[in-house]
Amino acid sequence: MTTIQSLPKEVLVFVFVCLDSVEAIGECRLVCKYWNESAAIAMLEIPLHLCFHNKMKAKKLMQYLMASQNKHQHVKYLSLCHYDNEILETVLPLVFSPNIRELDGYGSDMLYRLITKIAKESKAKFDKLKCIPSTYYFTDNYSKALSTFKDSLTALDITLVEIPESPSHLVNQLSEFKCLATLDLKAPFDNIAELDRIIGGCLQLQQLQLSTEAYVQYDDAPMDRASLSTWPMDNDSIHQINSLKSLDIVSNGFPHFVQYLMFKYPDMHSISLTIHKTDAYITKNTVQLIGSLEKVPNYCLTYRVTVGDDITTMFHAAKSGINVVKVGYHHILRGVWTLVMSVEGRKKESNHQTTFSMHIPPNANTKSHAWYLSQAQIPIDSLEIDLLNYRDFDVDDINDLYRRIAVKDETVVFFDILFDYPNIESVRFIARDISNCSDFYFSHQHTRLKSLEICGAQLGPATSLALTDMCRELSVLKLVNCSILRKDGIVCVNMEHNTFQEFTYRLMPCNYYTRNMGDLKNKTAVEYAERTLLALELYYSRETYLWLRIKKANQAIFLKVMPNDRYRYLITKKQFYLRPPKARAIQISCFSVKHLLLDLDSVHLQIDEEYIEYALASPLSSDYDSAEDSDMSDF
Ligand SMILES: *[C@@H]1O[C@H](CO)[C@@H](O)[C@H](O)[C@H]1NC(C)=O
Ligand SMILES: *[C@@H]1O[C@H](CO)[C@@H](O)[C@H](O)[C@H]1NC(C)=O
Ligand SMILES: *[C@@H]1O[C@H](CO)[C@@H](O)[C@H](O)[C@H]1NC(C)=O
Ligand SMILES: *[C@@H]1O[C@H](CO)[C@@H](O)[C@H](O)[C@H]1NC(C)=O
Ligand SMILES: *[C@@H]1O[C@H](CO)[C@@H](O)[C@H](O)[C@H]1NC(C)=O
Ligand SMILES: *[C@@H]1O[C@H](CO)[C@@H](O)[C@H](O)[C@H]1NC(C)=O
């Protein structure tokens, strides 16, 4: 009979390696002598993170490693940090063996020198090592280490202050790294010949990341435009490489070399381009680039536009079958008043979708989002307005609060958007408060909105009344992290004109008390946060009573849901009214609903059309009633 004791040691090691943590494996060592050894090996085989900020722990660890010296070939994944030279000299010979696959963590000259030395002195070849830690300064020691492991390294991370001319410099010999699949190169290359000299010979590349941002001043060292205009003529000399799937470029000026890269790597799946500077020349070229980028299945282009400059041409250039527009009030850097525009294209089978995201700088005025939206001038399928995130969180500057849209204005912004864009079918709105809606009761004005998600905002009874009136075609409504003001102790969402495919109300508590904590000096904000936290505690894990009014059937049903209990109890209207005072009561009214989901902290309720029909037919259901005259006097 096979027992756990009769398993070969290798199998035991294999089993232990699958455990969650070093601690769990450590416990296995205590079980018996036989397990002790296999578990000790397993502890070394899982990724080993050696962090030496605690001297005592470091000492113990080194003692342990010294005692198990003969096992050091089991270490495959090692990460080192907070070490000093003395620790390195002791620990590296104990854990750095020809079996090592990945060395990670903090890179230093000493580390590079030591691993080079160990590898040179070793009889066995270090031919499995895929990566070593990178360093901000490209030193001789780093270069030597890279070249020592060049037969096996699959990933290189190189930062150069200037492009070396010498053919013997490592960066001009990358073709010797036969396994190189991922290259991250930060260097001030400024013409295609230089770039081709460096990466031209990397024939197995799958991922390439290029950054010129740290050094190249676009104005000082523009890309060699002459070479750009001539390269297509001798593209025979450019070796095309099909292995490259993803390209990531970060640049200060316009990266002229991108056309060359797109020619060189014809089979890319994704390309991402980030340009940190702004001027009219960059904008013009960026817009022109879209035509080429659109050939890549996934592209992402992020660039800056001076506030007020043209963005309409980009919308026209990049628009596709489905256009999603997102606007948020943003902060990036102090004193940089630019709009950050990012355009993302995605091809899925025959569907092409473009997402335009605009991050408006914090000093923009309260109407900026409207102005930028008006610039889009393309059909928008889906719109997201975010007044809550991306805001300036600088607690030292109390004025930052004034740069954002004031909470009291959010209702106006919300309804203005629905008004101004009546043809958009899907809207996501992220804000703090849209409860003050009594002024927005527009029975004559209808939108074509089909799907609406509101996140984070406080809603009032009037909010849903205004919505159901304006948005008769709304069939998907999601309220996420929204607190809803109560009326007579009942949370009311009255959407009686709407035929819902899906109605979701979801609350995840943390959001409440973190959203206004950005400014700790603001007492009102902190008090508000505390109040909501208290309210939340009261709310949390309370039984919930639902009154669901279905106008189509002219009937209403009543349900009770207990915390952490998936079962729903069908009850009567009387029981709804006789609920315990602390219970949460929700009333939802609609014309009809196919799927209803309440996911409120610990209370979950999911019902579908079939269940609702069954409940409506039950003797426990009541008449639809008007919300107003349904009070306790009924009983
Ligand atoms: C496990 O082995 C180590 C030596 O490798 C020994 O010090 C320890 O006492 C052993 N533990 C058990 C429970 O056998
Ligand atoms: C290599 O690193 C060692 C240890 O930090 C240092 O002493 C030495 O000067 C470095 N060598 C070069 C050529 O930079
Ligand atoms: C060189 O590349 C350009 C741009 O992709 C293309 O139009 C041209 O036909 C190519 N020439 C040759 C000889 O392949
Ligand atoms: C509600 O909005 C109206 C106008 O839109 C405004 O006059 C009033 O002060 C607001 N009330 C609150 C409590 O914000
Ligand atoms: C809701 O709040 C939770 C918790 O803070 C957060 O993780 C989640 O992203 C929020 N969802 C939305 C849509 O705002
Ligand atoms: C504090 O925050 C509240 C709500 O976020 C805001 O109404 C008020 O103006 C702020 N006060 C100061 C002094 O910033």
pTM above 0.85, yes or no: no
CA angle (613, 615, 619) in 5-degree steps? 125
pLDDT of 54? 77
pLDDT per residue as tens digits for the range 481-495:
898 988 888 999 999
401 lines ligand 6 (CB under 6 A): yes
The ligand 1 site (C-beta within 6 Å) comprises 29-30, 33, 36, 40
Distance 67 CA to ligand 1 centre (A): 11
pLDDT per residue as tens digits for the range 460-473:
988 999 999 999 99
Phi, psi dihedral angles at 425 (to 5 degrees): -95, -20
Break the chain into its structural domains and give their ranges. Answer: 1-46, 426-634
pLDDT of 269? 96
d(CA 175, CA 154): 12
Share of the chain above pLDDT 70, in %: 84
Query: Contacts by 439-442 with C-beta closer than 8 Å and gap 24+?
Result: 440/411, 440/415, 440/466, 440/470, 441/465, 441/466, 441/469, 442/466, 442/469, 442/470
pLDDT of 519? 52
The best mutation among 9, 25, 36 to test binding of ligand 1, ranked by most ligand atoms within 8 Å of the C-beta, falls on: 36
The lowest-confidence range among 34-38, 174-178, 426-430 is 34-38
Question: Would strands 338-348 and 298-306 be described as parallel, antiparallel, or unpaired?
Answer: antiparallel
* CB burial string 576-589: b at 16+ within 10 A, e below: bbebeeeebbbbbb
The pLDDT of residue 513 is above 50:
no
Q: What is the mean pLDDT of residues 46-62?
A: 79
The best mutation among 9, 16, 27, 29 to test binding of ligand 1, ranked by most ligand atoms within 8 Å of the C-beta, falls on: 29
Judged by its nearest atom, the ligand closest to the C-alpha of residue 67 is: 1
Instruction: Tell me the three state secondary structure of residue 454.
Output: strand
pLDDT of 214? 43
**What is the DSSP secondary structure assignment for residue 583, as one 8-state letter?**
S
The pLDDT of residue 306 is above 70:
yes
What CATH class does 1-46 carry? mainly alpha
pLDDT of 507? 85
The pLDDT of residue 320 is above 90:
yes
The alpha carbon of 83 is separated from its chain's Cα centroid by a whole number of angstroms, namely 32
- The rounded mean pLDDT for the chain is 84
pLDDT of 225? 46
pLDDT of 205? 96
Distance 482 CA to ligand 1 centre (A): 56
d(CA 587, CA 625): 12
pLDDT of 542? 79
Q: What is the mean pLDDT of residues 303-313?
A: 89
pLDDT per residue as tens digits for the range 231-266:
554 556 678 899 999 999 999 888 878 888 888 899
Share of the chain above pLDDT 90, in %: 47
d(CA 274, CA 289): 13
